[in-house]
Amino acid sequence: MTGRGDRAVNYVILASFSLIALYPVAGIVLAAFQPPGSAAGGFSLPSELHLANFAEAWTQGHFASYLRSSLIVAVSVVFVSTLVSIMSGYAFGTMTFAGNKVLFYLFLLGLMVPLEGLVIPLYFDLRALSLTDTYWALILPQIGLSVAFGTFWMRAFFLATPRSLIEAAAIDGARRWSILWRVLVPFARPAVLTMMVLIFMWTWNEFLLALVMVSSESLRTAPLGLAFFQGQHVSDVTLLAAGAVIVALPVVVVYIFLQRHFIRGMISGSVVG
Amino acid sequence: MATVRFEGAGKRFGGVDALVDLHLDIEDGELAVLVGPSGSGKTTALRLLAGLESITSGHVWIGDKQVDALPPRDRDIAMVFQDYALYPQMTVYKNLAFGLRMRKVAPGDIDGQVLTAAKTLGLEDLLERRPRELSGGQRQRVALGRALVRQPQVFLMDEPLSNLDAKLRTQTRVEIARIQREFGITTVYVTHDQIEAMTLGRRVAVMRDGRLQQFDSPKGLYDRPANLFVASFIGSPAMNITEGSLEHAGDGLAIAFGDHRLAVGRPESRPDDGIGAYAGRKVLLGIRPEAMADASLALGTPEDRRMTVRVELREDVGSDVYAYFEGGPPVSNPGLAESPTGDDDEAGGNRRRTFVARLSPQSKAREGDAIQIAINDRALFFFDPDTGVRIG
Ligand SMILES: Nc1ncnc2c1ncn2[C@@H]1O[C@H](COP(=O)(O)OP(=O)(O)OP(=O)(O)O)[C@@H](O)[C@H]1O
Ligand SMILES: [Mg+2]
């Protein structure tokens, strides 16, 4: 086979998978731009771009409030879990201490048990602490879940980091704290950013926890708000589509914004020798 | 500046003895080389000295301080790693300055020290680059600079040249020797390359299986190897080794091996020998390729110091002629270094059987010719066949 032929086959395969993945997304985006009220099922290009659906959804659906709640929750979760994950990943990835194996498996457990299995007992626990129907009820459990993943992720990265880098810094006089923040974290930036995007995305899209923990409308997060919004406007497809786009947009923006960074980082910093 | 002393230092990894009872005294300002085949414990010794590995037994001293329990940062050492281990996200300048900043050197002094080190190594124009924007040779120099800038008590280098191409390796070797002499910093240098060891080291420690074999000047190792291992490890091409028997011949001794027989000389002409006691016994015989000459060019060599051989292969490399011929029977002694150059695995088997002589380029010896090889009595080495210890 010639390289050219191989390439063509690769492209065909990739293109068809992209189509499968993009079809429903594109359908929703296109629907959002249809004239308001049109029952545009399926896949038709709007005759002109109608932005009215977005304005309508924004005001009717209280999305400003939902996005604000989501932002508060997601940013706190991302910030705290990133900090904690970097430190615990560093410990598990570069140090040996009593019980490190057992402790690590304990962390993994947090990764393996699905939230569905935890959410009800969690509700009672938090209620005992009078934390239900507050942001804490959304933030604290998600920090816990994200740190399980983040520890696993950062540990893998630090394990793969050349040991000589750590040793060189130790000989240069750096203590553990400086080794982590001055040498390893700058080196790990692509991995850290990727982790932050993933945690942001998962936190942003979390539905079940918000549904169980929060009853005040002012605390509703975007996906939960969207669900209520859909309940009220079952038949208005274009409005629902606009709402969905509004909720999904921040994740896409964050991804696009950070993607440039982590791709550049991945190319540059990974090889020492 | 400081002396370095290993005092019965040992390291066990699980069940593996990586280093056993190492005694080594390195003088102030000396460049000492640890050399040995892969897995001989060189890196382990260096890491014990650096504090990157905890010591299992014995002690390590830097100057008059016993450093066994000190963390690396308190040992006042600098290390050049095989993969350089430059901080990838920092510029060259910051790489050099990092150690000074960590040691709380006044910011005003950092600049001067970094620039001095950069100048010594010709890095002035690279200071704003990052490691990934440098060639291999430049990275290597930054690694040296990072070690140099702190003016430590001891330099540690673990195969610092192994990632460079041959030409750069020679250049950098000279550079390292120059800097080491200029600053007079005690240096421990690890390599598995005997040429590097012999050219660089004031003294060279030959290691094997975690045990020190000999610590001596390059000339001392070459002229007076302590045992079969050192003898066969040092020198290129490697020493020819065969088995023979020592016999009385007149009032002296002779060694018979294969079809050959050479006079060894009177015991009193070899005063440092113990070979008298081996008369009538089997011994291992070693002859360096460069100790043999084409007898037609070395007139006056007595008859009993010559052997007649048939040249099987002639390699002419311009400056020398290598002649291969049937010497004595092959030896497979556990004390023998395995093909030290490491690049002739296949020829290795043959090489054991065949002797090689490095002859003058004037030699007319052709393949198939029967020629006479002249051998100096002092060039014969004898080893105990059981212990491998040199007996003469
Ligand atoms: N961290 C470790 N855990 C277990 N065994 C080890 C460890 N480090 C070294 N060893 C073992 O100790 C012995 C000596 O290793 P060392 O790295 O000192 O050899 P070396 O002389 O530096 O070899 P090379 O030339 O290949 O670098 C080897 O048998 C090696 O397998
Ligand atoms: Mg090594």
pLDDT, tens digit, for every residue of B74-99? 999 999 999 999 999 999 999 999 99
What is the rounded average pLDDT of the residues A14-23? Answer: 92
C-alpha–C-alpha distance, residues A214 and A73, integer Å: 12
Q: Nearest ligand, CA of residue B41?
A: 1
Q: What is the pLDDT of residue A270?
A: 40
Beta bridge partners of B62: B4, B65
Cα B208 to averaged position of ligand 2 atoms, centre (Å):
12
- Testing ligand 1's pocket by substitution, the residue of B16, B163, B191 carrying the most ligand atoms inside 8 A of its CB is B16
- Decide: A61 and A229 in contact? Cβ < 8 Å: yes
Q: What is the number of the ligand 1 atom nearest to the C-alpha of B41?
A: 18
Listed as own residue / partner, the contacts of A246-251 with beta carbons closer than 8 Å and 24 or more positions apart are: A246/A54, A246/A57, A246/A58, A246/A61, A246/A63, A246/A67, A246/A222, A247/A63, A247/A66, A247/A67, A247/A222, A247/A223, A250/A67, A250/A70, A250/A71, A250/A204, A250/A222, A251/A200, A251/A201, A251/A204, A251/A205
**What mean pLDDT do residues A158-176 have?**
95
Distance B221 CA to ligand 1 centre (A): 24
Q: What local confidence, expressed as pLDDT, does residue B348 receive?
A: 41
Cβ of residue B241 lying under 6 Å from some atom of ligand 1: no
Domains of chain A: 62-272 (1.10.3720.10)
Residue A124 or A53, more confident = A124
ipTM of the complex: 0.85
Looking up tokens 């200071």 gives: B127
Give the integer Cα–Cα distance in Å for A113 and A109: 6
Please give all residues whose CB falls under 5 A of ion ligand 2, grouped by chain where several chains appear. B 43
**How many A from CA of A240 to the centre of ligand 1?**
64
State the DSSP string of A242-255: HHHHHHHHHHHHHH
Task: Say how many CB pairs under 8 Å bridge A and B.
Answer: 78
B34-54 residue pLDDT tens: 999 999 999 999 999 999 999
CA-nearest residue for atom 12, ligand 1, is B18
Contacts of B50 in chain A (CB under 8 A): 167, 171
3-state secondary structure of B135: coil
Q: Which residues contact A144 (CB under 8 A, 6 or more apart)?
A: A110
Nearest CA to ligand 1 atom 6: B13
Task: Determine, for residues B163 and A168 on separate chains, whether the beta-carbon distance falls below 8 Å.
Answer: no
A167 contacts on B by Cβ (under 8 Å): 50, 52, 72, 79, 81, 85
Nearest alpha-carbon partner for B372 in B321, B339, B325: B325
Average pLDDT, chain B: 89
SS3 A74: helix
pLDDT digits (tens, 9 = 90+) for A182-204: 999 999 988 899 899 999 999 99
The domains found in chain B, sorted by start residue, are 4-233 (3.40.50.300), 240-383 (2.40.50.140)
Residue with tokens 């400056």: B319
The band of A107, judged by pLDDT with boundaries at 50, 70 and 90, is confident
Other CB atoms within 10 Å distance of the CB of residue B164: 18
Closest protein CA for atom 30 of ligand 1? B39
Whether B72 contacts A171, CB under 8 Å: yes
Out of B20, B35, B43, B207, mutate this one to test ligand 1's pocket (max ligand atoms within 8 Å of CB): namely B43
Backbone angles phi, psi at B4, to 5 degrees: -130, 135
Angstrom CA distances, B6 to A20, B190, B307, stand at 67, 15, 46
What is the C-alpha to C-alpha distance for residues B352 and B348, in angstroms, rounded to an integer? Answer: 6
Ligand (nearest to CA of B15)? 1
What's residue A42's pLDDT?
57
Cβ-Cβ contacts under 8 Å for A39 (sequence gap 6 or more): A235, A237
**Structure tokens that stand for A243 in this block:** 């709402």
What is the reported pLDDT for B271? 59
Q: Is the CB of B192 under 6 A from ligand 1?
A: yes
Maximum pairwise Cα distance, chain A: 70
B-chain residues near A164 (CB < 8 A): 81-83, 85
The answer on pLDDT for A271 being more than 60 is: no
Please compute the mean of the pLDDT values over residues B343-362 and round it to a whole number: 65
- A107-to-A100, A113, A117, A125, A192 alpha-carbon distances in Å: 11, 11, 16, 20, 18
For residue A162, list chain B residues with Cβ-Cβ distance below 8 A. Answer: 83, 85
Residues B33/B189, Cβ–Cβ less than 8 Å: yes
What is the pLDDT confidence band of residue B70, given thresholds at 50, 70 and 90?
very high
Give the per-residue pLDDT at A170. 96
Q: Hey, are the CB atoms on B88 and A164 less than 8 Å from each other?
A: no
Cis peptide, bond prior to residue B71, ω within 30 of zero:
no
At position B182, the amino acid (one-letter code) is E
Both tokens of residue B150?
A: 């702190």
Q: Could you tell me if A155 and A104 are in contact, meaning their C-beta atoms sit under 8 angstroms apart?
A: yes
pLDDT level of residue B345 (50, 70, 90 thresholds) = very low
Say what the pLDDT of residue B205 is.
Answer: 97
Q: What is the pLDDT of residue B341?
A: 44
Among A75-89, A236-250, B179-193, the minimum mean pLDDT is found in A236-250
Contacts of A192 in chain B (CB under 8 A): none
d(CA A184, CA B288): 51
Q: Which two tokens stand for residue A98?
A: 């009593």
Identify the DSSP state of B30.
-
What confidence category does residue A272 fall into, taking pLDDT thresholds of 50, 70 and 90? very low
SS3 A193: helix
Closest C-alpha among B392, B274, B283, B387 to residue B335: B387
Q: What is the mean pLDDT of residues B345-352?
A: 43
Please, what is the end-to-end C-alpha distance for chain B in angstroms?
39
Question: Any alpha helices (H) in B234-358, and if so which ranges?
Answer: 345-353
Give which of B81, B342, B383, B107 is closest to B237, Cα–Cα: B342
Q: How confident is the model at residue A235 (pLDDT cuts 50, 70, 90)?
A: confident
Residue with the bigger pLDDT between A99 and B350: it is A99
Chain A interface mutation, best of B102, B140, B162, highest count of A Cβ atoms under 10 Å: B102
Residue pointed to by tokens 């394990």: A159
Q: What is the model's pLDDT at position A41?
A: 57
Q: Is the dihedral of CA A91, A96, A98, A102 positive or negative?
A: positive
pLDDT in tens, B241-292: 999 999 988 778 889 998 899 988 765 556 566 788 888 899 999 999 999 9
pLDDT at A177: 96
* Residues 6+ positions from B4 with CB-CB distance below 8 Å: B24, B25, B26, B32, B49, B60, B61, B62, B154, B186, B188
What percentage of chain B carries pLDDT values higher than 90?
71
CB B274 within 8 A of CB B283: no
Each residue's pLDDT tens digit, B104-136: 999 999 999 999 999 999 999 999 999 999 999
What's the whole-number mean pLDDT along residues B172-179? Answer: 92
Write out the two tokens for B210: 């975690």
Cα B35 to middle of ligand 2, angstroms: 10
* Cα separation values, A117 from A6, A203, B351, B381, Å: 46, 18, 70, 78
The whole-angstrom distance between A148's CA and the closest CA on chain B is: 28
Total number of residues shown for chain B: 392
CB contact under 8 A, A164 and B73: no
Range name among A183-192, A236-245, B342-351 with the lowest pLDDT average: B342-351
Give how far B171 is from chain A: nearest CA, Å: 19
Q: Do B85 and A175 lie within an 8 Å CB cutoff?
A: no
Token readout for B335 is 């004390």
Which run of H or of E encompasses B60? strand B57-62
| pLDDT of amino acid A230 | 87
